[in-house]
Chain A
Amino acid sequence: MSLTHLNPRGEAHMVDVGDKAESRREARASGVIHMRPATLALLADGDLPKGDVLATARIAGIQAAKRTHELIPLCHALALSKVSVDFRLDEAASCVHVSATCRLTGRTGVEMEALTAVSVACLTLYDMCKAVDKDMEIGSIHLDAKTGGKSGDYQRGPAAMEPAPIVTGEGATGEVSLGVRCAMGEPCIRVKCLAELRERLGVGEVSVPFAELESADVAGLKALLKSMDARFAGLDEGRVLCAVNQVMAGNATPLTAEDEVAFFPPVTGG
C-alpha cells in the first residue's frame, strides 16, 4: 500500500483521475460534539441566541462538502449528487451525534467531502452555542463506510468502533446522568446497562436519585427509569436480567442508596 498523493520522488501531487472508470461512490462519516446538558436543552428547544442551530449547521455542512477541494490541497472539485447532514441529540450522553453522507457518480471517492461536512457542521454547532457553553468538545470524527471505486468498499470495523468492549459500563455513552448526578452529594442508585442491552437502549451508565424511587426496590427503579427516559421501556423487551451489587436479583429485591444495579441480557460465555 502506498500514498497516492505522493509521486515516485515523494513529492505531493494531485492524482490524475482522467483514466479511472466512473462509478457510483458513497461515503458516510460521523462525529460528536459534547456539551453541557443545559446547552443541549437550549439547542433542543431552539432557545439559543443565534437561532435555529441545527438548520444552520446542516447548511454549513452541506456547503463545506461542496467546497472541500478549496480546503484540502490535493482534493478534486467534485459535482456531488447528494449531500445530507443529520443530527441526533443524545440527552443521556449530553452530546450531539453528527453524520454526513455524500454521493456522486465519478472517478474519485467522496470520503473527504463527508468528513469535511461533519467537521464543519460540528464547528458551526460550536459557534452557534459558544455564547452559553465554552466547554464543548468536538471528537470522534471518522469515516463510517464508503462504497465504490478501485479500493473497494470499506466498513469501519468493530474494533475501531468499540475501543473498550470488555469493560462494561464504559460503553460509548460513558458515565451520564438523567437526573441529578451522584457527584452533587445526593444519595443515588448507580445503574449500568451491559452488552446488547447497552447498545439497544443507547445507555451505558446512569445515576438516579435514590429519594425519587416510588418504591425502594428494583421494580421501583425500573418505573423511575421509564418515567425519566422512554428508552428504558426496552427493559421490558425480551429477557432482561438484573444484578444488585453484582448479585443476581429480581423486581422485589430491595435497594438502598449507593447500590449498583446492572441490567443485562442472558449470558452467552464459554
Chain B
Amino acid sequence: MIRVQQERFDAGSEQQALTRGRSDIGAVVSFTGLVRDFNERPEVQALTLEHYPGMTESALADIVAEAEQRWPLQGVRLIHRVGRLAPGDPIVLVVVASAHRRAAFEACDFIMDFLKTRAPFWKKEHTASGAYWVAEREGDHRDARRWETST
C-alpha cells in the first residue's frame, strides 16, 4: 500500500494494520524519517515538499515492486507526506513485513535508498536567513548504487 498525503501518519497504527490477522509474518522493520531543524543551514523552521502527482505514485509503486522481486516480503506500507512540515514532523514511513528479519531489514533499506534517488519529491527548506531548495547528495546516490551489484 502506497500513499502520498499531507496529513500526519501514525507509525504504530500503520504497522498494526499491516500485521493484523496475520501469523505468517515473522519480522517487521519500520523506518520513519523526520524533519531535522538543521540541514544545509542551521535553524530550519519549516520544510515544503513538492511532488509530481501521478509520477510520484508510479515511481513509488515501481520501487516497492522491485523490492518484492528481490526479497520474499509479506507486505509493504509506504507513506510519504507532501506540503508544509515543521521540524520533528514525520515525513516518510516504510514498513516492511517478511517471514525473516534479514529480508525485512534489507528491503526497508533498499526502498529508502531508491526513494531518495528516484521518486519525484523536492524539499525546500525555510530558515531565518531565507528559503532554498535542497541540493541532491552524492551520498544518497552512493547508497542507492550499493544495490546494483546484487542483481
A residues lining the B interface (CB < 8 Å): 157-159, 162, 165-168, 192, 194-196, 199, 239, 243, 246-247, 262, 264-270
Could you say which residues of chain A place their CB within 8 Å of the CB of B83?
A: 165-166
State whether A269 and B46 are in contact (beta carbons under 8 Å apart), knowing that A165-B124, A246-B52, A246-B54 are contacts in the complex: no
Smallest CB separation, B81 vs chain A (Å): 9
Q: Whole-angstrom distance between the alpha carbons of A194 and B112 in the complex?
A: 22
Main secondary structure of the interface of A (DSSP, over half): loop
Is B50's CB under 8 angstroms from A166's CB?
Answer: yes
> What's the interface size class on B, roughly?
35 or more
Least CB separation from A166: chain B residue: B82
State whether A262 and B135 are in contact (beta carbons under 8 Å apart), knowing that A194-B120, A196-B122, A269-B80 are contacts in the complex: no
What 1/0 mask marks residues of chain B from 91 to 104 whose CB sits below 8 Å from any chain A CB?
Answer: 11000000000000
Q: Whole-angstrom distance between the alpha carbons of A166 and B50 in the complex?
A: 4
Q: Whole-angstrom distance between the alpha carbons of A76 and B116 in the complex?
A: 55
Is A267's CB under 8 angstroms from B92's CB?
Answer: no
Q: Whole-angstrom distance between the alpha carbons of A194 and B133 in the complex?
A: 12
What 1/0 mask marks residues of chain B from 78 to 92 whose CB sits below 8 Å from any chain A CB?
Answer: 001011100000011
Q: Which 9 A-B pairs have the closest CB atoms?
A: A269-B121, A195-B122, A266-B136, A246-B55, A196-B133, A270-B116, A166-B82, A268-B134, A165-B48
Q: Whole-angstrom distance between the alpha carbons of A194 and B119 in the complex?
A: 13
Is B52's CB under 8 angstroms from A269's CB?
Answer: no
